[in-house]
Structure 1
Amino acid sequence: MRLGLLTACFAGSSLDEVAEWAAGNGYASLEVAAWPAGGDHPHHAAHLDAAAFTQAEAERVRALLDRLGLTVSAVVYCANNLHADAEERDSVHRHLRHCVDTAAALGVPYVSTFVGRDVTRSVAENLRLAERVLPPLVDYAGERGVRLLAENCPMEGSHPDGYPGNLAYSPELWEWMSDLGLLLDFDPSHLPWIGIDAEDALEFALERGIVAHAQAKDVEIDTRLRTRYGVFGRTVGRTSPVDAGWWSYRVPGRGMLDWNRIVDMLHKARYNGTLAVEHEDPVWGGTAEHTEQGLRIAARTLRPLVSPESPDPGWR
């Protein structure tokens, strides 16, 4: 198993800068963000220009990674593949195919995305829509030696009322989407706040062989505030769909998840891929210095578990 990081938290840095920092701070792999250039979302970075990726750039990136001893575990473009607007949905699919081509050029096995949701339709209608539009994307990737993954983020921010906007949030849906050919990019942090036991869910997914990649993000839950607002979150004074008021994401080591147990379960299942830290911690975020310190905290928490035989690289 390799310890990696999702590069999206370094939206203002180049891939070269991110790679240099990661290699010097205890990380061995990158899950590389490849959203379209020009976006303004704080967690959408374009560290690979998938729409204009050339063979020359592929060779340059491979040389960079080889020099630093890094690998790329996945190319990431998490967007709404079931968007209600047909033109926007086509645009998402077009960029997803660019990401597949980029992954193939780099020899990267996975592209991670979302299933998504058309918020104007019922869940049942969305399942039928997905069964129509997702298999051609799975086939496109497969023809190029790449597998599509879906992350289990509920994406409540994509729904006007904060309900799940990504139909990949539960083990029931993981089984359904695996039948469509999508494997799982497992992130345990999304599970406790929707009432799912992260360890039981991981065991379910490992037993079915659908975990192709894993992310490491923690979660902090204030049960007293949950009692005040309910599981759907605050209503009066809500500032955005993600402003639930009683939970927040944290870096590993600062939340409630048992990383000793989670990583041990991956080891027992002979998972030999990457565990990539996804940094969305509001405490250790907001500035480059805070973000880097958050990633150092995550590395100190996880590296002894992921690669206990590896020497301490000296980060403090």
Structure 2
Amino acid sequence: MKLGVFTVLFSDRNFEDMLAYVASKGIEAIELGTGGYPGDAHCKLDELLEDGEKQQAFLKQIDDAGLFISALSCHANPLHPQKDISGAADELLVKTMQLASKLKVPVVNTFSGCPGDHENALYPNWPVAAWPNDFQEVLAWQWEQKLIPYWKEKNALAESLGVKIGLELHGGFSVHTPATMLRLREACGPYIGANLDPSHMWWQGIDPVEAIKILGRENAIHHFHAKDTIIDQENTNRNGLTDMTDYSEMKDRAWYFRTVGFGHGQKTWADIVSTLRLYGYDYVVSIEHEDGLMSINEGFTKAVENLKPVMVKESVDEMWWV
């Protein structure tokens, strides 16, 4: 397994400085944003897509730093009911998949998207209650009319390009749990899988180790983010886990993100990494930092320090003790 980082953390650094800095920390892989929510500070789609020489020069810079690209990421909402938003997100996803194919990057990460509740809606609608029955009707319409047709088409495109799609299971989007991930994958195809981030499992009340088992049995983990979460029980008692308190109001939130090791201890992270390996994931653990209590550099450095001891670097060829 390889330790990586989502370089959106270092969008204020130029490409060369970013590569040198992350390599100096012992990072082996980089996940690059191509637009959408992550921005495109280190990977300009339109500059690279049709220029083979620029692609090779780009890859050489990364290789010379002792790194490789684990994924290209274009998190956005390609199913947003406002066509200018969804259209731009769809174009971004298609171009990112095309560039990933040209660069031989195996995974493109994004969100599933979340539609509205009817054709003339203006905003996404994320049903999270089974009753009143209106919510069930909205959910059925979203899946049957929007999610499945869209992602079936993208699964076919991914297959033709030889890349995989990693959907981040994130609240506010239609695919946010192992069950919704497997539902979409079953309906659309195996080129769609998870970019699994345990931080979003914890705040939904899901044990990430068990999520890895559920998805791993189906070979449905395409990429993995390393980010932590803390649950504030007093605020949870008041606000519930679907807390709408602004992220900046950390003292009042039911949960908030932490850097690796500051929400859950090293044993938990060792269990996560070991379970990934047990269920066949032998790729990149990509650090993502959204900790409101630490600077980017401190949070990133501590995440590296906490993950290095639990990373599984060498697989067993045979059980010599049996």
Q: Normalising by structure 2, report the TM-score.
A: 0.83
Structure 1 residues 167 and 277 mapped into 2: Cα distance closer, same or farther (>3 Å)?
same
User: Can you list the C-alpha shifts for 1:51-76, whole angstroms capped at 9, x where unaligned?
Assistant: 33222221111111211111111000
Give 2:300's aligned residue.
295
Shift of 1:242: 9.5
The CA RMSD measured in Å over matched residues stands at 2.0
Structure 2: how far apart are the matches of 1:8 and 1:307? 25
Return the alpha-carbon distance in structure 2 between the equivalents of residues 266 and 232 of structure 1.
Answer: 27
Structure 2 unmatched ranges of 5 or more: 119-137, 315-322
Q: Is the 8 A contact 1:101 1:144 kept in 2?
A: yes
Show the counterpart of 2:140.
124
CA distance in 2 between partners of 1:92 and 1:241 (Å): 27
Q: Does 1:47 align with 2:47?
A: no
Question: Which residues of structure 1 form unaligned runs of 5+?
Answer: 155-164, 285-289, 310-316
> Could you say which residue in structure 1 is the equivalent of 2:123?
none
Q: Does 1:223 align with 2:233?
A: yes
Contact map agreement 2:117 2:141 (CA 8 A) in 1: no
Larger radius of gyration: 2
Write the distance in 2 (CA, Å) between the matches of 1:149 and 1:136.
Answer: 15
Q: What are the residue-to-residue correspondences of 1:83-162 with 2, within 5 Å?
A: 83-121=80-118, 122-128=138-144, 129-154=146-171
In structure 2, the partner of 1:169 is 176
Tell me, in whole angstroms, the C-alpha distance in 2 between the residues paired with 1:45 and 1:31. 11
Aligned AA (2:55): A
2:257 is aligned with what amino acid?
Y
Corresponding residue SS for 1:82 = coil
Matched pairs, number: 286
2:261 aligned residue (253, 262, 265): 253
Distance 1:241 1:12, change over 3 A: closer
Describe the SS at the equivalent of 1:95.
Answer: helix
Name whichever of 294-303 and 133-142 sits farther off: 133-142
How many angstroms does 1:26 deviate by?
1.5
TM-score (norm 1): 0.85
Change (3 A) 1:46 1:135: farther
Counterpart for residue 283 of structure 1: 293
